[in-house]
Structure 1
């Protein structure tokens, strides 16, 4: 019988000792102000409602007056002010201050990730007070140079601003001392801001949905609304419906809906925003490297009770790219029911910019309340320029006639009742009935402006629909995956699929037990191996892989216990918030930490925040380890079966013709050559898996502490031990 060479334990244990050595090394390391600002000062500021530990149920209200019924706000997001990249803070003063001085918005909304909270190598996350001081000083200089009233600036937390913050008010909670909201004593998780026009109120609701306990990265990735906060947000949106003025509602936050988890009862914001006729939700978080145009139209069916007919309500979600590297700024305009925006990338001086406020873009920002839509016989545009604008003209094109100009409409500057009020609004009347069409993209509008320097500026041409029709937005697969799929659900599907696959592999043990009990497995296997290789079907190899991989009871039981441990028991321990804080425990279901206000109570911060840990470990380490372990035992058994068959053939008295002998010799040569090659491939894969596992463990040690993570056996030691034991066991000599 052909036998495998005797094992060389040192060569097989190389990867294991390499992992131990690397882990031990890690253990040993570790201007002038606006004249209009006074006239449009805050009408009211106050806090209503109670708190739930971190202010989750308190609402901060503020009101500001605006002239007329057209208002605009500026949004920036993901500043990531960093001690290691001081240019980001300087750019706020260099680029944002002049832009705000020109734009003079009613509000400046900063939607999270104010500071970077990462070390120089970006291997760990922690709050750095120097970064917060840098942010505070930069924003103070922006206020000084732009002249923007500080009360009109609202900044909210992002996930980076909560990294390593055990609770609100902790010494590491620098947002509560250095943010603009904290300076103005506006600490809450819900902000209700009203812009009061002549006949309309524009309501902005800001939401801070960061984790109640700020887990360090990479876990802290999702927004976590509470049931109480969702109820308060809905109540606040509904509260203003009782006012006599018409109202347009906009909500802003840091996390997109796809990166916002459901509450404990499964409630989500989408239903609330739809029921309360929110026009748009604006956010950040995903950065422009992913995409600069992450827009989504939510269509939600709602009904007040089971007897009512379901109605479809819509609201837009518009994600803004980052200031960090892209220097993106958004101008959000509100003109009656119409909400429109323009995203600009600031590089040098703010360019002359035209934003058409009505009619809106039928592709991405049209009026969505079509059930009560009325045709407006006017056209309006905001023109922001350092120079005097001499002439503004709107041109309407017909795409069905090769974009022929069908009308030119001169726009006039809207005069203000006060000479101190800045209002770069141009307006004209037109006959909107002339542009009714079944197609939302037939008519296009473009605005041309001529400044005092003789330079003509053009707005981006956009399709419009006076009937309020919308173009079904087309999305790339990346946009759909990241922005339109709820990662909370996708994580559950991916995790359950992986666990189901592994459990099915383990259940093959029962098939093995049944065949061996009936003494039929050996005969079946020998009969199949006696046939030529090209006649062996794929189903045979699958069964062979599952049965032979599970025949070793010790290994099968070890894998079963390990998988059960991963499902129910802790994966590892670590400094979840800071190295001075309590040790947290990570389970597959999330982190478990002591509640800050009651050490007896254990807070469970559920998934999907741990998906960036759990999925790589399960898909790149645990599953490959189990599959390779099965493959090693199957390969050894195939090697021995083939050797046994060859010995029997050599002892067989049956006379074979020359062609049969040649065919048999080719088969045997193929079997033994592939057998050795297959094992080399499996050993190479063992090395790759070990290196991937080492990299994941190293990253987690940097993030949550070397010693606690390294001393967690389920994560650090079991996978390499299984591989080493499997390699060693399958290298033994066959009898």
Structure 2
């Protein structure tokens, strides 16, 4: 009865803590919620606006009779770069790559404008531990743009997470972007959202920039996610709901690393995403191990593209985006490699005393090719592009960016591996598998050669073709350009003339960019906590030993079938896990209460306090409190999703792993094995598993793992102010100390029935019923004779030969002890000889 009362009290406490957790989450996200109309009415209001926008697109795309021919009409292009990480400490890439882009690439591609999507500076110290805003890095960025050799372009930029490291507020003196950013005034006036337009004679194109940096920027590493409050979403909605041929959105953060609020009109970001065509971003640096080679995705619900660009810092990546008669195409290119002498000679901060920039030498650049017609079918935008113009086009169109004159270039253009062939009337012919040379000899058709159709503003090349010859399925267009200096450029696209899309095929990168990472982290964290609480609470309602005996009987039944593999092995592991959970409250009550209390503390209490923003001028600006749901500075919540990322790691690695170890040690594997297996199959894999878990090297791994997790806490303190308050006021440290004491007690205690700690599973009155074999198990019953023989051998070694009647006495004593009550700690065992055997020996020697 007492155990049931304790169980219900624990459940009531859990429910109370759940209410407290909901209150904290509600408080932390109030800036993200809408105070306007309720959600059910949101779609009713947005539907007419979306329909009006689609009608506008329909007029622009279908009613105009633009022909993709051999003239540079209806064409413009711009450039995007991202993640410059201008650094005063990093010698490779970083500053040098940015200067090489301005010096060697920009005068050749000559875009309408350049957009820099964040992380303008690196803001890390020489050890890459602490972070702050460095004046030298910001000056280098500004002077590079102000003193660029080719000045006939406009720059737009926005902040990234590195640009708001250690930033108390926008008005803070530490916010150097406010003085040195190209678009700082636009960001400030638009309160995080600003727009600009490109309005040629053939259309209206809108560009929207988003500054999603947190309003208080902690130092690294808790500054990876961005977010948009409800008021910012209002301004974004005002910008996106304007009609245009195309709207392009730029932000440093991919949508997977953003937390979006809801506008006052009830619009979510997905609602607004239906009103733009492409979302350009950076931030992820192509990830690692090739995961980020294709960080591109298409959302069929909103019919939009999201395109992440690799960094300028290490990979030297830049992007050219062209809009050709409302069909959007792009190419991602890399900087040419710099000679090693240039890498050694370029200073980290190439500024003189009077702020004059020292430019690196100009690099030779291979031709860069951007194919605009036919369009790459993997990036087709349904209902947002006039794809019918591909079917009615008369020419293949592509841009070639090179510093050499057009007449010095040679081309190789293939479709599906074959040269493009046309007749004197410029009509393409699909010759199937015919040899082009044979075709040329027997017909009047000749191999096509491209013609330069551009001007000083648009380096356009065209080639006549007949799209109807490629109306079936997907095809590959490959273009190779060789300059007079021997530099070679290549480009290829997969295209369809029927306007249908093909899969991007980005693998893990496409999945990452299309998910919502903060939601995934929240699910992982909460699901892990709920799972562990469930495993802790359920055994409190099953304290009757009969339940454990039934589980053990099923385990023994599986053990008697050799070998135990496949489904039987999985079934056994599940049963063993259930039995361990049931025995944890009784065998390790301190561990049970400690784990249960800590899990509730994670969702209701602050985790730790730290100096998150060292540049703050007041304690409320410097010091913040870390909760599962965000950070608190003074009385102000910052709903940054970095807390969920850190929580997912800590809950899984610090709580989940040690909780699993506690369960593993709650019942030794030896006591779970049927006696028949112990006696007759000593080499069984089950016995080997037992020896692995209880071996010294496994215990050593436990110690090393604990030391690693504790070192992570020390590393956290090195980021945020040292021992005080980060380590002292930290419930994670308290938990790790508790775990260390518990594991240390088990390692220092002898492995016998009288030991204490996690390995004290066979303490008197708890699991002795398991140690003496399971009543009713045939396998355990068959194993009763073997221990008696072992006892006889041991007795003979110590006291000489036993008489036959002594063997019978010992065997009867063993059988009696094996069937006696297991609750008494004084019960006799085969290894604790009975008084009757001792009396027989004494009488014999008298």
TM (norm. structure 1) is: 0.74
State the SS of the aligned residue for 2:397.
Answer: strand
Superposition CA RMSD, Å: 3.7
Residue 686 (structure 1) aligned with residue 707 (structure 2) = no
Query: What is residue 369 of structure 1 aligned with on the other side?
Result: 384
Contact 1:342-1:355 at 8 Å conserved across structures: yes
Query: What is residue 273 of structure 1 aligned with on the other side?
Result: 273
State the SS of the aligned residue for 1:460.
Answer: strand
Residue 397 (structure 1) aligned with residue 420 (structure 2) = no
Contact 2:327-2:386 at 8 Å conserved across structures: no
Residue 93 (structure 1) aligned with residue 111 (structure 2) = no
| Cα-to-partner distance string for 1:320-356 (whole Å, 9 max, x where unaligned) | 1001011111111111211111111112422222222
Query: What is residue 425 of structure 2 aligned with on the other side?
Result: none
Give the 3 Å change call, closer, same or farther, for CA 196–97 of structure 1 in structure 2: farther
Q: C-alpha displacement at 1:197, in angstroms? A: 1.8
* CA–CA distance in structure 1, aligned partners of residues 682 and 100 of structure 2: 76
Give the 3 Å change call, closer, same or farther, for CA 668–491 of structure 1 in structure 2: closer
Query: What is residue 162 of structure 2 aligned with on the other side?
Result: 160
* CA–CA distance in structure 1, aligned partners of residues 160 and 236 of structure 2: 18
Identify the match of residue 336 of structure 1 among 325, 328, 335.
325
* CA–CA distance in structure 2, aligned partners of residues 463 and 90 of structure 1: 34
* CA–CA distance in structure 1, aligned partners of residues 612 and 281 of structure 2: 27
Query: What is residue 659 of structure 2 aligned with on the other side?
Result: 626
Query: What is residue 298 of structure 1 aligned with on the other side?
Result: 299
* CA–CA distance in structure 2, aligned partners of residues 342 and 428 of structure 1: 19
Identify the match of residue 720 of structure 1 among 714, 718, 737.
737
Q: C-alpha displacement at 1:81, in angstroms? A: 0.9
The 5 A counterparts of 1:119-158 are 119-141=125-147, 143=148, 145-149=149-153, 152-158=154-160
Contact 2:365-2:487 at 8 Å conserved across structures: no
Query: What is residue 305 of structure 2 aligned with on the other side?
Result: 316
Q: C-alpha displacement at 1:467, in angstroms? A: 2.9
* CA–CA distance in structure 2, aligned partners of residues 669 and 387 of structure 1: 72
The 5 A counterparts of 1:149-548 are 149=153, 152-182=154-184, 188=190, 189-241=192-244, 247-263=245-261, 268-274=268-274, 276=275, 278-290=276-288, 291-300=292-301, 313-346=302-335, 347=337, 348-364=363-379, 369=384, 373-374=388-389, 375-390=392-407, 395=413, 397-398=415-416, 401=432, 408-414=447-453, 422-427=457-462, 430-432=465-467, 434-435=468-469, 437-439=471-473, 441-442=474-475, 444-447=476-479, 453=484, 459-476=490-507, 478-513=508-543, 515=544, 520=546, 534=560, 537-548=572-583
* CA–CA distance in structure 2, aligned partners of residues 361 and 672 of structure 1: 58
Contact 1:117-1:163 at 8 Å conserved across structures: yes
Query: What is residue 716 of structure 2 aligned with on the other side?
Result: 700
* CA–CA distance in structure 1, aligned partners of residues 653 and 127 of structure 2: 24
State the SS of the aligned residue for 1:620.
Answer: helix
Query: What is residue 575 of structure 1 aligned with on the other side?
Result: 611
Further displaced range: 122-131 or 555-564: 122-131
Give the 3 Å change call, closer, same or farther, for CA 410–718 of structure 1 in structure 2: same
Give the 3 Å change call, closer, same or farther, for CA 357–664 of structure 1 in structure 2: closer
* CA–CA distance in structure 2, aligned partners of residues 671 and 94 of structure 1: 65
Q: C-alpha displacement at 1:139, in angstroms? A: 3.0
Query: What is residue 636 of structure 2 aligned with on the other side?
Result: 602
Give the 3 Å change call, closer, same or farther, for CA 133–543 of structure 1 in structure 2: same
Q: C-alpha displacement at 1:413, in angstroms? A: 3.7
State the SS of the aligned residue for 2:242.
Answer: helix
Q: C-alpha displacement at 1:614, in angstroms? A: 1.1
* CA–CA distance in structure 2, aligned partners of residues 367 and 661 of structure 1: 66
Q: C-alpha displacement at 1:222, in angstroms? A: 1.7
Give the 3 Å change call, closer, same or farther, for CA 522–705 of structure 1 in structure 2: same
| Cα-to-partner distance string for 1:479-533 (whole Å, 9 max, x where unaligned) | 14422222122112211221122112212432443x15xxx46876997899996
* CA–CA distance in structure 2, aligned partners of residues 530 and 185 of structure 1: 70
Query: What is residue 599 of structure 2 aligned with on the other side?
Result: 563
State the SS of the aligned residue for 1:73.
Answer: strand
Residue 110 (structure 1) aligned with residue 116 (structure 2) = yes
* CA–CA distance in structure 2, aligned partners of residues 366 and 548 of structure 1: 59
| Cα-to-partner distance string for 1:663-684 (whole Å, 9 max, x where unaligned) | 3795999979946961646633
Q: C-alpha displacement at 1:164, in angstroms? A: 1.4
| Cα-to-partner distance string for 1:380-408 (whole Å, 9 max, x where unaligned) | 22222211112677846257945976985
* CA–CA distance in structure 2, aligned partners of residues 668 and 97 of structure 1: 71
Q: C-alpha displacement at 1:430, in angstroms? A: 4.7
State the SS of the aligned residue for 1:120.
Answer: coil
* CA–CA distance in structure 2, aligned partners of residues 216 and 710 of structure 1: 17
Q: C-alpha displacement at 1:469, in angstroms? A: 2.0
- The runs of 5 or more residues in structure 1 that have no matched partner are 1-51, 54-66, 242-246, 301-312, 595-600, 647-659
* CA–CA distance in structure 2, aligned partners of residues 191 and 279 of structure 1: 17
The 5 A counterparts of 1:669-684 are 674=690, 678=694, 680=696, 683-684=699-700
Q: C-alpha displacement at 1:281, in angstroms? A: 1.5
| Cα-to-partner distance string for 1:535-571 (whole Å, 9 max, x where unaligned) | 7944552233112222143332222111100111111
Give the 3 Å change call, closer, same or farther, for CA 661–132 of structure 1 in structure 2: closer
* CA–CA distance in structure 2, aligned partners of residues 670 and 395 of structure 1: 66
* CA–CA distance in structure 2, aligned partners of residues 611 and 383 of structure 1: 46
* CA–CA distance in structure 1, aligned partners of residues 382 and 489 of structure 2: 23
Contact 1:203-1:249 at 8 Å conserved across structures: yes
Number of residue pairs aligned between Structure 1 and Structure 2: 611
Give the 3 Å change call, closer, same or farther, for CA 343–574 of structure 1 in structure 2: same
Query: What is residue 43 of structure 1 aligned with on the other side?
Result: none
* CA–CA distance in structure 2, aligned partners of residues 194 and 667 of structure 1: 77
* CA–CA distance in structure 2, aligned partners of residues 249 and 495 of structure 1: 37
Give the 3 Å change call, closer, same or farther, for CA 547–427 of structure 1 in structure 2: same
Further displaced range: 391-400 or 95-104: 391-400
Contact 2:333-2:368 at 8 Å conserved across structures: no
Give the 3 Å change call, closer, same or farther, for CA 410–500 of structure 1 in structure 2: same
Residue 585 (structure 1) aligned with residue 625 (structure 2) = yes
Query: What is residue 74 of structure 1 aligned with on the other side?
Result: 79
Give the 3 Å change call, closer, same or farther, for CA 437–628 of structure 1 in structure 2: same
State the SS of the aligned residue for 2:328.
Answer: strand
Larger Rg: 2
Q: C-alpha displacement at 1:603, in angstroms? A: 1.8
